Structure 1
Amino acid sequence: MTQNDTLFFICGSALSGQPDHHTLGQARFVKAAKTAPHYRLHDANEGWHPAIRLAQADEQGIAIAGEIYALSDAQFDALLASEPPDLVQSTVEMDSGETITAMLCPQATIDEHGWPDISQHGGWAAFKANGDSTTP
């Protein structure tokens, strides 16, 4: 990793073994990781990608499984250009306490589309492996 690399938390279709993994190009895999248990996971656009958001005060958050990659500036720009338009660049707190760049979805967008909560799966890869079932 160089000092210009950005650590980025991947938790969706660009994960290892998922269909959009190629969008990471030559980004360097750092480690498998989980967020702190402050988030909720939604199925956006009927299985196209996940939408993660901060849990609200009246609900239980979960730790979301994913991977951390080191991205050069060019890799970072390319990844952001390939992200769905309903996601925004933000940060997530990891279970280790560190803060990593990631893509989050505003609660209002999730509500507007009625995207189902799939947090019971713990991560996108587990959700996809379960046949995209949104039932607990």
Structure 2
Amino acid sequence: MSEKESAAVLLAVNGTLMRGLKLSPNMAAAGATFLKEAVTEPVYRLWTINDEHPAMIRVTDGSGVGVAVEVWEVPAAGLAGILLNEPPGLSIGKVNLDDGSTVLGVIGEPALVEGQREITEFGGWRAYIAATGDA
């Protein structure tokens, strides 16, 4: 295996890819390793998409919060499989964590959240599903 094939990237996930949730098997299939729970810089807002998964959007108007995420180490070769199995409207972009680091992360397209319920006040998907009883 070449060095490029064995390279790994850090990926912050904020929804159903998190441990024990609906799409967490996709992380295992990609050979990902859980590293830590973390929080983003307070520059994001969060929506629920039909109560199936969240969408995190970066904002620049000062209204963002720190969102709870999990940081995983993902083999570079496995990253494409994770992205291909994400719901439409979600993509991989750069996410700023509250420790000043920048990692890859799952983010939503602004059009995806139109007409959806904003759940920023919960601070994360797990807190939202715990409060509402949704999974």
Q: Normalising TM by the smaller chain, what interval? A: 0.7 to 0.9
Q: Does 1:62 align with 2:65?
A: yes
- In structure 2, the residue matched to 1:120 is 121
Say which of 25, 33, 40 aligns to 1:35. 40
**Among 13, 17, 22, which residue is 1:14 paired with?**
17
Q: Is residue 11–residue 103 contact of structure 2 (8 Å, CA) maintained in 1? A: yes
Q: Could you say what secondary structure the match of 1:74 adopts? A: helix
Structure 1 segment 1-136 matched on structure 2, within 5 A: 4-25=7-28, 26-44=31-49, 46-57=50-61, 60-111=63-114, 114-131=115-132
- Partners of 1:35 and 1:64 within 8 A in 2: yes
The aligned length equals: 128
Q: What is the aligned-residue RMSD (CA, Å)?
A: 1.7
Q: Distance in 1 between matches of 2:72 and 2:35?
A: 5
Q: Which moved more, 1:124-133 or 1:17-26?
A: 124-133
TM superposition shift of 1:132:
5.3
**TM-score (normalizing by structure 1):** 0.86
Identity of aligned residues (%): 28
Q: Which aligned segments of 4 or more residues in structure 1 are displaced greater than 3 angstroms? A: none
Cα distance between partner residues in 1 of 2:42 and 2:77: 31
Alpha-carbon distance in structure 2 between the residues aligned to 1:132 and 1:38: 27
Superposed CA offset, 1:84-120 (max 9, x none): 1211221110001111111211223322xx1111011
Question: C-alpha separation between the residues in 1 aligned to 2:83 and 2:123?
Answer: 24
SS of residue in 2 equivalent to 1:24: helix
Q: Higher strand fraction: Structure 1 or Structure 2?
A: 2
Q: TM-score, normalised by structure 2?
A: 0.87
Distance in 2, Cα, partners of 1:19 & 1:107: 23
User: How far off its partner does 1:74 sit?
Assistant: 2.5
